[in-house]
Amino acid sequence: MSSNLMILPANKYTNIRLIKMPEDIEEHEAYRYVTGLIAKVEEGPEYSWDDVLDLLEERGFEAIDFVLGPSLD
């Protein structure tokens, strides 16, 4: 069984995140949903990854631990 995964890029490599998408959501819908959710959280005075993750988990997304390999460039 395969999973749809989404990388959330960041300016700092320590802030890159990997999430598992719910099976009932298409890629384009997931992209739009996550983009809107991040924008909503960023409207607040202070926010963290945990704030974003809480809202993602409410919709069925799941944070995935990963190891970031060496740079290819």
Percent residues over pLDDT 90 in the chain: 64
Task: Please list, residue by residue across 39-63, b when 16 or more beta carbons sit within 10 angstroms of its beta carbon and e when fewer do.
Answer: eebeeeeeeeeebbbeebeeeebeb
Reported confidence tier of residue 1, pLDDT bands at 50, 70, 90: low
Give the mean pLDDT of 58-68: 95
pTM: 0.84
Alpha helix ranges (H) inside 17-72: 27-42, 49-58
pLDDT tens-digit series, residues 25-59:
999 999 999 999 999 988 988 888 888 999 999 99
For residue 47, what pLDDT is reported? 86
Distance in angstroms (rounded) separating the CA atoms of residues 61 and 17: 12
